[in-house]
Amino acid sequence: MSKTRIGIAVVVLATLLSSPALAGVRLGIGPLGVAKFAVGRVLSLGGLHHGRALARHGQIRTASPRPQNVRNAMDSGLRNPAVRRQIVAAAALAGWHGGQTAKGWWRHGDGGYGWVGPLFWPFAIYDINDYIIWGDGTGFWDYGYPDIYAAIFAPYGRDDLAAYTGPSPHGRRHRRVPPLQQLCGDDSREIAGLPINQIQQAIQPNEAQRAALDDLANAWIMAAQMIRASCLTQTAFTAPNRLAVMHQRIGAMSQAVLVMRQPLGKFYDLLEEEQEARLNALADDRRRTFTANGATEASAQGCGAAQAAVLQWPADEIEARLHPNDTQRAALKVLQDANARVVEILTAECQPKDAITSPARLDAVEVRLADMQQAVYLVSAALEGFYATLSDEQKAQFEAIGQKRTA
C-alpha cells in the first residue's frame, strides 16, 4: 500500500434532497439546503495500522463498545471496513433496548447494520467506493431483503428513536449514541473520495489520462455530496414512511452512480492493459492487507440471503395482535406475497463473479440498486393497501411487532 496521503476535498451538504415521495406517503423532508465546503483529514498509513491494531486487540467487534473505543475507531480511518462496522454496530445497538444488547436481530452477515435508528444505509458512499474501486463488496452486497423486513417490522420504538434525533428523555441512558451526521460521512476528518495519489502512482498517467482522472475525481465528489444529502435528519415512525425513506435513499445512490458512470468509463478507455492490471493489483493488495491483519470479519453471505432465510413472516403474531377481519386478511395476504416475491428478486441476482474491473462493478451496483428500489416499491404498494384497512390501534399493534423481537 502506498504511504502517500490521499487528498481530495468534498462538498458536505447539511440538509436533504427533496423526497421522491411514494403515493400517499408524506415525510416532511425539506428541500436541499446550503452546501458547506469542507476539507478533511485523509487516511494515512498510520491510520490503517491503527485500524489493524484495533482488530488484533479485539476492539473491532459487533457488540456495543464503549464511547472511547468508538472515538478510537473514528480516528483510525473510515476507509477501513472493519472500523465502519464497529461504529455502525455501536450506534445501532446503543439506542436499542437501552444499549444493553450485544447483537440485534436485524444485523447483517458482515456484522454491520442496515438501519441505525431512523437512518438507512450508514456510510453508503464508502460501501460503494469499496466495491467499485477496490472490489470489496462485503458491505455493499450484504444489503437486501432483511433491510426491507426491518423497515416493515422496525426494531426501534419511539423512545429508542429519541436517542438519535434529539435530547434523550432518559438522561444518561442513551449517552453512547453518536450523531447521525457522523454515520452519513459528515466528518471533516475523513473523505470518501477517490484515492488519486495511489492511482497515479500505480499507473503513471500521461497528460490525457491525468485530465480524465481529474474529471473522475470531480464526479466522485459530486456523487458523494448527493449521497450525503439524502442522509435523513427526520424520523419516520411508521412502516410506510420507513419504506419511503429507503426509496429516497436508494434513489439518491442510483443518481450518484449515474454521475460516476461516464467519467469512469472515459478514464478506463484511456488505460493500457498493463495500467489496468496495475489497478487490479492495487485492489488485490488492499484486500489482502485487511484480511491478513484481521481487519475483516467473515465475508458477507451475499445479498442478505442467509438473514432472509431466518426472518420468518410473523403470521401468528400478526393474527394475535391485530385480530384481522376478512378484508384485512386478504390485504395481508397481498403484502405477504409481495414480500415473498421480493425475496426472490433480491436473492436471485447477487454479486457477479465476472465483474473484475471498476466499470463492470459500477454496472453491477447500478443493477443492484435498481432491483432494490423495485423491491421497496412492490412492498410499499402492498403495505399501503394493508395499512388502509387498519384502525389506529391495529397500526400501533403492528408497529410493536419488531420492537418486541429479540432474535
Whether 254 has a pLDDT exceeding 80, the answer reads yes
Model confidence at 276, in pLDDT bands (50, 70, 90)? very high
How many whole angstroms separate alpha carbon 93 and alpha carbon 44? 29
* DSSP per-residue string spanning 76-136: H-TTSHHHHHHHHHHHHHHTSGGGT-S--TTB-TTS-BSEETTEESTTHHHHHHHHHHH--
Mean pLDDT confidence for 270-294? 82
pLDDT in tens, 328-347: 999 999 999 999 999 999 98
Is the pLDDT at 54 greater than 70, yes or no?
A: no
Q: Which is more confidently placed, 263 or 304?
A: 263
Q: Give the helix ranges, DSSP H, for 135-272.
A: 138-141, 145-152, 158-165, 180-183, 196-203, 207-229, 239-269
Contacts of 21 (CB under 8 A, 6+ apart): 27, 244
Instruction: For residues 107-122, give the mean pLDDT.
Output: 92
DSSP string, 215-251: HHHHHHHHHHHHHHHTS--S---SHHHHHHHHHHHHH
HEC letters along 317-381: HHHHHHCCCHHHHHHHHHHHHHHHHHHHHHHHCCCCCCCCCHHHHHHHHHHHHHHHHHHHHHHHH
Report the predicted TM-score, pTM, of the whole model to 2 decimal places. 0.79
User: Percent of the chain having pLDDT more than 70?
Assistant: 70
Task: Note the pLDDT tens digit of each residue in 57-76.
Answer: 333 343 444 544 555 555 44
**pLDDT above 80 for 34:** no
What is the pLDDT at residue 194? 76
Give 73's contacts (C-beta < 8 A, 6+ positions apart): 51, 54, 59, 60, 65, 83, 86, 87, 90
Question: Which tens digits make up the pLDDT trace of 301-315?
Answer: 567 666 666 688 999
